[in-house]
Every structure is written in C-alpha cells, then in structure tokens.
Structure 1
Amino acid sequence: MSSGPAGHVVRSTVRPNCETGTSAPLRTFLPTADGVSVDFVYEPGAAVYDAGQSSARHPVFVVAHGFTGDVDRPHVRRVASVLARHGAVALFSFRGHGRSGGHSTVGDREVLDLAAAVDRARSLGHARVVAVGFSMGGSVVLRHAALYPGAVDAVVSVSAPARWYYRGTAPMRRLHWMVTRPEGRLVGRYGFRTRIHRRDWDPVPLSPAEAVARIAPTPLLIVHGDRDGYFPLDHPRMLAEAAAGHGELWLEHGMGHAEHAAGEDLLNRIGDWAVARAG
C-alpha cells in the first residue's frame, strides 16, 4: 500500500547546503511515466560530505533491488551504506514493493520506476549516474540502459538472469509459483510485502541478453557468483557473450545470490570500478 496516491510527489524538506553544494538526505515519492508512485530515498554519501565539494563531482549510485526487496530492507540499506563511500546513493522501491504503489510486473514495467529514479538523481546535480541492479533489478538496469540510451553513465548488473521463464533451480520454481498462482501471490503480499500483478506479460519484454547487445558504448559490468542458487553460470556467460566483447564479467568465487551475498569487499570494488568508468 502506498502512502501517497499514484502520480503525486510528496513534498520534501530538502535544502541545498550553500557551502558544499550538496543536498540533504531526502525521502519522497516519484511519479512514473505510467502514473505509479514509487518510494525514493537519496543520501548524499560520505564521499560528497568528506570532500566538501559540489555533488556534481561525484557519481550517484541508483540502486535497483531484487524481487521482494524495498528501500527499508536491511540488506538493501547495507549495499547503500558501502556504495556511499564512493558517491551519493539513490534508493527506490519498485512498484508493488514496500511503500510504493502499483503491482510488481517482475521486471517488465519496472524499467519506468528506474527511469523516474535516474531522472530525479540527475536533477539533484549529479553529472554522473551509475545504475546498480541486483537479480530482478539487475535485469532492469540492463533493459533500462538499452531502452534509454545515454540515461546512465555506467551499468552494473549483479546476479541477473539472461533469459525469461527460467525454472531450472528450486528457488526459481518457488518464485514462479509465487508469481503465477493466486495462493502464491497471497504469500507475496502478506509474507514479503510484495503485491504481484496477476496478468501475464503481453508483449513479452526485451530479454536481458537482448538488452546487453544494445548497451554499448555505456560501460558495463556483469557480476555473478559461482554458488548462485537461482541462476547458474550459463546466465552471466550468456550475457557476456551477448555483449560481444563490450563490458566486463566478474565471476565471484564462493558468492551466492544478489544483495545478501554481495560482501563489503565486492561492493567496494564495484564502487571503485564505477568511479573509474563513469567519468
């Protein structure tokens, strides 16, 4: 349930710092192009505060969480706290998740949510925007970069699928049950604070592998763990192959799936990579 009606932006109390040019932290709601209200959180980040310089000199990391996540989940906040050492951070809850309005379409119209968050992050004065997505969010940042050329300055996709309708692992079979069955959607709503759309995709959206082929020349990083219980290694390898030599692939030894498995060292390396590539 959203705390603000669809299409309405809750007024924030953000005030620019006249000495540093940065903005104070804010939490507000953003309208998407199709009228859904998404919960949005912005933190200037330690790098901006410590440098005492304009936010335009530092990237902003727009974090796209995985399915059933939201801006108040501890694992999402932990990711944000590490990335904040490298720049500002913008978080948002995908539609149907947490306090955002609407219903989850499991990676389809979520591209509009990311687009709204990226536009707002850019409007806060950041010249460089880096989209960092995990699992479902990882597929969304790939599709967003393909559908909105030049909207971001670098893309990081962690633990993303390469193709739709994958049911080759037990966790993915459970996820499909949650998405496709009425009783599963009840579990999603009351057990995971995630409201799931009941209709099938029509048309089927551009797949992550198809999207990767369209991202160049935007810098691209694909990250995947060799112990990912949801998507085995053929997924990141398919994405890397579709990229046709553009971007980088990091296969992380011992890493599981998405935000929960992304350790501090990996997140710091992602932050360093993004700062170096998004210049």
Structure 2
Amino acid sequence: MSSGPEAEFVLPCVSSITSGVRQVRRRTWLLTEDGVRIEAAYEPWAGAPGTPGTPGTPGAPGGAAGPAAGATDGDGGDGDGTTPRGDLAIVIAHGFSGSLHRPALQRAARTFAQHAAVITFSFRGHGRSGGRSTVGDREVLDVAAVVRWARSLGHARVATVGFSMGGSVVIRHAALYGSAAAAVRPYGGSSSGAQGHPEHRGRTDSLPPGRAALAAHARAGTHTDAVVAISAPARWYYRGTAPMRRLHWVVQRRLGRLVGRFGLRTRIHPKDWDPVPLSPVEAVPLIPPVPLLIVHGDRDPYFPLDHPHSLADAAPDGAAELWIEADLGHAENAADPTLLHRVAEWLVAAR
C-alpha cells in the first residue's frame, strides 16, 4: 500500500469556499492512499452566496442587494445558533453496482445540495473509477480521500452518508477515521474494543519513522463529523434473502464476476478478504462521539430489520439514532426526497 497522500488531484479542483470565488459544479480525480484513482464531483450548496440562482448573487433573482438564502443572524449561524450551512459538505457513498452517474444518486445529491455542499464519487471498480471493488473493505480509503478533498475546499464540517454497501463503508470509516485524534487509527495502531482485530494491528507501527509520519500526514483531515447509514448491513456474509444470495454468487464466482463486469458495470476483485475487515456491528462502538444515524426500511428486500436494530444496539446508550421507515425499500433507489430532506436536516443539526 502506498504511503503517499490520499488526495493528490489528477485534475484541478474547485476553489476553496473561503476564496470568495463563485462556486461551480466540478468533477475531478482523487488518488487514494493505496494508489487507486477515484472519480468525484462537487455540488455547491444551493443557498451559498455566489451560487448561480441564489438571491443576493449578481444576475440572480433579488439582485446584489437581496439577502442570500440561509442568511445568518448576528451569531454567525442559520438563525437558530447552528453552524453556518456553508461550512458543511455531505459526502454520499453509493451502494454496490452504483456510481455517481446513476440517476438515484444524482437525485440524492440535488436534494442534499439544498441544505449543504455535496460531493458524490464512484467507489473503486465502479463507474469511471479505477481499481476493483472489494465490496466494503478497502473502500474506506476511497471515502477518506473524498473527505480530505472536501476539507481542502474549506469545509469545516464534513458528514458522510452511505447507502447499502456504502452504508457499511461509512460506518467503518467513521470508526477508523472518526475523529481528528483518531485519524492515524486505520491500518495502524489499535482502538479500544478492537485491539485484537487484524485491521488494527501493525500497519504503520512497523514502518520506519519517516514513512510512518508520512502515512499519518496523508490521513490528516480524513475524519468525519457525522455519519448516516441507510439500508446498511450489520454483518458480513449474510445470505438470508434471495437478493443477497444472488449478490454472493456475483461476488464469489468467476462467472458471477463476469456478470458483474459486463452486466452491472462493476469490476470485482477476485481474492477473498485477508484479513476479514471489521464488520459494521463491530465498528459501531468505536464511532462515538461522532453522531450516528441509522435509517432502514421495513420493506427492505436485502436486509431485514434485525440488521438496523443490531447496529443501534451496538452503540453506547444514546450514541446512535435509529429511524425505521414505513414502506421504504432498499438504498438510494428507494429513498424519496422527503426522507432525504429529513436526513439532510439531521446532518445540519448534528453535533
């Protein structure tokens, strides 16, 4: 695994939100810590001053003298004492076989952009990103690279939202990279409650001091400030539903991986996990004090309700919030704007 910076940009990125330059939609490429090129897209907050269409922006309705949407009061917040929304970026992690180009993910991004800036990306092995999917293992490095990019743009708060496989990844990312103090935890050192897990042993402790310091520097700014997991599994290797049995066939069989490559446009790594990564339910106790929201539908065809309840039960008392949504199916394809707005409002208020 490369010890180089996680977010070296292959294409120019957007200007910092602190630069005073009008924000625009932009796509770029990011390089993960292990050298995989990831496609990402930035969507500015629709209410940010200078965003096209925002009142108060020259040429926009309301003119230069009009108040910007979400204008703050004297305490610098949104009028209710909260952090200004322009400081927040929401990173969206799609489900297996998705990408930033899929209509469902774009719909979620447009909805979230009414509340904060949004970054979408394609996991390794998906869309135009490089590499091959490890179905939730090394994808934490993809999220870390995107979060670091969001902070480089000037966003003081970065939250992660994941759907299905993406939900398991953002849970693990929050546990491994969850706070600034724990930013060097992933792939090195240990953490309370998971000291014996191979994912936490010896990954940077065995490096020479110079390379260990470089690896720690690469992880600076990769922590999340809030996390939402929607339709996420609690544990690995679940085969209790027909859709999950079909997914295991796609991932574990050679013919299935060919179907994944040409039918689902998803390139899957042929090797088994070694070691088996920390499961979502094992990761949840490591997330506090980062706020965690678990969202699940009572009509999810992939994961029954014992999955979200297991995740919520694994959190210390009061450390996770659980929403069981009536008539909701699975992941981004099922999430309607009403639910997405509620999630975004939760993220804006999360502390």
User: Normalized against structure 1, the TM-score is what?
Assistant: 0.93
Which residue is 2:170 aligned to? 141
For 1:46, the equivalent position in structure 2 comes to 46
Partner residue of 1:3? none
Pick the aligned partner of 2:253 from 181, 187, 191: 181
CA contact (8 A) 1:154 1:274 kept: yes
Per-residue deviation, residues 58-111 of structure 1 (Å, max 9, x unmatched): 311000000000010111101101000110000110000010000000000000
Correspondence list, 1:198-209, <5 A: 198-209=270-281
Please state whether the residue corresponding to 1:156 is helix, strand or coil.
Answer: strand
- The corresponding residue for 1:77 is 106
Q: Which whole-Å deviations, capped at 9, do the CAs of 1:113-132 have from their partners, x for residues lacking one?
A: 00000000111011111100
Contact 1:130 / 1:274 at 8 angstroms: preserved in 2?
yes
Conserved in 1, the CA contact under 8 Å of 2:239 and 2:245? yes
| Deviation readout 1:198-219 (Å, 9 max, x if unpaired) | 0000000000001111100111
Give the corresponding residue for 1:162: 234
Paired residues, what number?
273
Deviation (angstroms), 1:10: 2.7
Q: Decide which of 191, 195, 219 is 2:267's aligned counterpart.
A: 195
Per the alignment, do residues 190 and 114 of structure 1 end up closer, same or farther by CA in structure 2, a change over 3 Å counting? same
Task: Report deviation, 1:26.
Answer: 1.4
Q: Does 1:111 align with 2:133?
A: no
Shift, 1:152, TM fit? 1.0
Question: Contact 1:7/1:36 (CA < 8 Å) preserved in 2?
Answer: no
Q: Residue 271 of structure 1 aligns to which amino acid in structure 2? A: A
Cα distance change on mapping 1:201 and 1:19 into 2, 3 Å:
closer
Partner residue in 1 for 2:64 = none
C-alpha distance after superposition, 1:139-169 (max 9, x if no partner): 0000001001211111000000000000000
Change (3 A) 1:16 1:233: closer
- Structure 2: distance between partners of 1:235 and 1:21: 44
Give, in whole Å, the separation in 2 of the partners of 1:47 and 1:130: 18
Distance 1:117 1:172, change over 3 A: same
- Give the one of 250, 256, 259 matched to 2:329: 256
**Quick one: structure 1 residues 261 and 267, their matched pair in 2 at CA, closer, same or farther if it must change by over 3 Å?**
same
2:118 is matched with 89
Question: Structure 1 residues 22, 221: CA separation in 2 closer, same or farther (over 3 Å shift)?
Answer: farther
1:56 Cα deviation (Å)?
Answer: 7.5
Per residue, is there more helix in 1 or in 2? 1
Q: 1:15 to 1:241 in 2, by over 3 A?
A: closer
**RMSD of the TM alignment (CA)?**
2.1
Q: Which has the larger radius of gyration?
A: 2
Give yes or no for contact 2:86–2:116 (8 Å, CA) kept in 1: no
TM-score by length of 2: 0.74
Distance 1:276 1:194, change over 3 A: same
Q: 1:180–1:69: structure 2 CA closer, same or farther, 3 Å change rule?
A: same
Partner of 2:199: none
> Contact conserved, 1:7 with 1:35, CA < 8 A, in 2?
no
